[in-house]
Amino acid sequence: PVYLVINDGKVSIKPANHLKGKTVTEKTEKIKNDLSDSDFKVMCIGPGGENLVKYATVMFGGRAAGRCGAGAVMGSKNLLAIVVKGTNKITPAQPEEFKKAVRMTMKVVKENPNTAAFKERGTIGDMPGIDVEGDFPTKNWQSNSWGKGEEIYNYFSHNNLIKNNMCYQGCPIACGRIVQVKNGQYKTPVHEGADYESIAAFTAFVLNEDVDAAVNCTYLCNEYGIDTISAGASIAFAMECYEKDILDQNNVDGLALTWGNA
């Protein structure tokens, strides 16, 4: 395995045996140490991509290129990370036209009522409404509503949420959330995550009412580099198979795959 370094346009390929099997955070830290420069930006796969999981992600810190298995594509090429640093300026072909387009777009985004809602409550703030409207993926879509969306959101905002966050300085929406699980069985460090789809996948989809467990699951998915939505959906599918006696404990390492069993 290797990783690719692009430093001010100069490309080099580095050996990456020491990164094999490491989580996303571990890879990111080791690469920055290797290069003795914390200014490098690291985009990497986790063990999920290395093992060619069909829904492996490419991770950039806590942000994921999450769907469609791009991480497995990198893994199939033994490419564990792409690391970039640059000092050149980016000059638009038509600077004035570009600025005008940016100003116009920012105005449209800022004036949209959803912008304030996403900033204040994040995408997970939609959960109570989605549950009521009947678009909540419940029990492997055996139902479209659970009746617990508001309860889950309230627990999350009182116990897990620390503050909102933006992917880049200047995003007017800032829908990201910085979260943690402070104590207990599912204690989870401070990280960026817990978007609506991820928490829905590990609560309603599998009938799990333990929000701390759901936050921990999404954190682990990001560290292992697998898509949160597909991971939750896979577990929900397995639980339905278990319910219908298509799977039993012998098939699943002795786990009791009952609904809601965190």
**Footprint on this chain of ligand SF4 (rule: CB under 6 A):** 166-167, 171, 173-176
CA atoms of 117 and 161, how far apart (whole Å): 16
Are 198 and 228 in contact by the 8 Å Cβ rule? The answer is yes
Smallest gap from Cβ 112 to ligand SF4, in A, equals 11
Taking each helix axis from N to C terminus, what angle separates 228-243 and 211-224, rounded to the nearest 10 degrees? 120
Q: Which residue has the tokens 């004035």?
A: 96
Smallest gap from Cβ 109 to ligand SF4, in A, equals 9
Smallest gap from Cβ 93 to ligand SF4, in A, equals 24
Q: Closer CB to ligand SF4, residue 178 or residue 220?
A: 178
Smallest gap from Cβ 227 to ligand SF4, in A, equals 16
Instruction: Provide the token pair at 28.
Output: 């990111």
Q: Closer CB to ligand SF4, residue 80 or residue 174?
A: 174
Smallest gap from Cβ 249 to ligand SF4, in A, equals 40
Smallest gap from Cβ 173 to ligand SF4, in A, equals 4
CA atoms of 157 and 140, how far apart (whole Å): 25
Bridging pattern class, strands 63-65 and 79-85: unpaired
Are 160 and 180 in contact by the 8 Å Cβ rule? The answer is yes
Q: Closer CB to ligand SF4, residue 173 or residue 207?
A: 173
Kindly report the number of other CB atoms within 10 A of residue 142's CB atom: 12
Q: Closer CB to ligand SF4, residue 130 or residue 206?
A: 130
Q: Which residue has the tokens 């799977």?
A: 247
CA atoms within 13 A on the CB side of 63: 10
Q: Closer CB to ligand SF4, residue 171 or residue 220?
A: 171
What are the E-state strand segments in 112-249?
161-165, 176-181, 188-192
Q: Closer CB to ligand SF4, residue 175 or residue 200?
A: 175
